[in-house]
Amino acid sequence: MLTNPLRGWKRAFRIQESHSMITAITLENFRAIREPIRIDIAPITLLFGANGVGKSAVIKALHFAGQQLGVERFETFGEELGEFVDCVHGQTTERDIRIGVEACYSGPFEDLSFDQVIQEAAATFDLDIGEPSFWDFWDSFGTAAVDIEVGQRTFHHLQTPHMRTTAGVPAAQFVRSTYAGNSTRGFDRQVIELHPQRLLELMDADQVPAAIRQHVNQWVESSGVGDASAEDGWVELGWAPGRSFTADSALDTSVEVSPPVKALLLTPFHLVRESLYEFLHVGPLRERPPREERTAGDVDMYDQYRWFTGAAAWDALHHASVYQRVDDKVPLIERVNEWLASPERLGLGLSLRVNTAREVPLEALSALEQTPNKIGVHNFLEAVSNTPAVSHFEIEDRNRGIGVQARDHGTGVSQLVPLVVAAHVSYPFDSPLVAIEQPELHVHPAVQASLGDLFVVQRGKTSRRFMVETHSEHLLLRLMRRIRETYEQKLPRPELTLSSQDVAVYYVEQRDGTAEVSRLVIDEDGDFRAGWPAGFFAERAEELF
């Protein structure tokens, strides 16, 4: 019997981290958002709207979800989010914050190593892991949702926090895979018996074949469940009170469940947590690079707050040999320099380099002057090698052959570098979702447009997705241009291929005291099907005419 059925499962899930990605987020009573809104995340998702309407709340909600699910990377972000009363809409504790995160695992589960949990499941229920029906059932957990509800209640004049977390898998896929074959019947029956009240409404799902609907109807009738319904087409898989994710405490049920099934029920929690762990967020005000860089031992690349400020991007460049996959053929700093310098990229004509030096102790210099021989030189070099290395970034203008410290260069470059690094960094995480606020800050309009190409190219080369909160019409027009050129087969380079399905544009506005979100659909030829709500981007026409 397994002493901890989750230990091996978490390890298996971490093997192919890049396959876990966030696909949608829902918010209610979070900051400027009162009524529920939903954002489906495309490969490139743009959030537009006036200042203060709630665009950044969509991104920060992912931080909030990560903190509630115990993702360690977000602990340092607490000061940026504030307390519960700072996050709840209207700053009233009578409301509960509700955030839902949907995620998917894009690779087949058999690509994961045969973890002890899977082997235990096969042994317990006499299953054949090699049969397709086993993996069909397991794959139904490859798409999952976690709903987080956080609030405060007054009890004897004291504010008492409460939280509950529900996980689920898509209902139709779950039922179809459950009843499609016989090899997993012993394994899945325990899961079904936990949630018989969810089955009746599932039978209306078009994706479930008639034979399976009949089979499940008969089973529900024989179980004496009676009328019931499933919520939003998802099968709920249990509660996880607080931040506890042990197999014994995370299931709110009196039914005896075997350890493998407990681990399976917790799979959605791990899937969403892994997706949040991979999330990167670059904030709207990126720090200028330090005049002297820290040593590698002081760097924490997992610190989400340093990514928010942009500082972690400079860390990644400075210590690229440490924070880079061994199979990366081109060093990170060279890839970043290509985007900074090349006319086909951002076209700045600039490149970065790291200059490293060591301070010479005065005592060692005096000793060398007194003993100017081989022994003195040896002692001098040894003393210098024991002093800490001090490094700084230098920016070279390739057109003029001039180099200056990066900190002394114009502000625009310090705003751009963290964006380019976040789009390329591959270790210690692959960052399937990168959120960026105001990439256009302190940047020339032509470069703003070229940032659109950065997102297009990197989305094509990797599984990376970008969620961008912006006011830049130039960036949007570049993306629409690439969609049109793809449709007309007039692209300058194949790497710029982009379809209308790859881009989601959302417009956020305030109405009646809450944020409302509209998705603006782009046609296959790169035009909007409808105009901008509330005349957004109409300022140019007013100024011209």
Domain range list for the chain: 5-277, 303-428
Q: What is the pLDDT of residue 197?
A: 47
Q: Residue 443: phi, psi to the nearest 5?
A: -125, 140
Average pLDDT of the residues in 307-334: 79
- Phi and psi angles of residue 62, each rounded to the nearest 5 degrees, phi first: -70, -35
- Return the pLDDT at 244: 35
**Residue 247 confidence class, pLDDT cut points 50, 70, 90:** very low
Is this prediction's pTM over 0.85?
no
pLDDT at 124 over 80: no
Most confidently modeled range among 114-118, 182-186, 327-331: 327-331
CA distances from 216 to 180, 194, 206, 226, 287 (A): 11, 14, 14, 13, 58
pLDDT of residue 191: 55
How far is 189 from 199, CA to CA, in rounded Å? Answer: 13
* Vertex 329: Cα angle to 449 and 323 (nearest 5): 80
Helix (H, G, I), strand (E, B) or coil at 131: coil
Closest CA to 166 of 150, 141, 149, 147: 147
Helix (H) or strand (E) holding 24, with range, is: strand 20-28
Average confidence (pLDDT) over 30-52: 92
Q: What is the pLDDT of residue 157?
A: 52
pLDDT-derived band at 407 (thresholds 50, 70, 90) equals confident
d(CA 445, CA 454): 15
CB–CB of 162/168 below 8 Å? no
Nearest residue to 469 (alpha-carbon basis) of 343, 340, 284, 307: 284
Report residue 467 as tokens. Answer: 């969620």
Q: How large a percentage of the chain has pLDDT more than 90?
A: 27
What sign does the CA torsion over 226, 230, 233, 237 have? negative
Percentage with pLDDT > 70 across the chain: 61
Q: pLDDT band at residue 19, thresholds of 50, 70 and 90?
A: low
Read off the pLDDT band of 505 (50, 70, 90). very high
Instruction: Return the pLDDT at 135.
Output: 58
Nearest-angstrom CA–CA distance, 280 and 543: 38
Distance CA(104)–CA(124), nearest Å, equals 27
pLDDT at 345: 94
> Do the beta carbons of residue 152 and residue 103 sit within 8 Å?
no
Strand-strand pairing, 37-40 and 465-469: unpaired
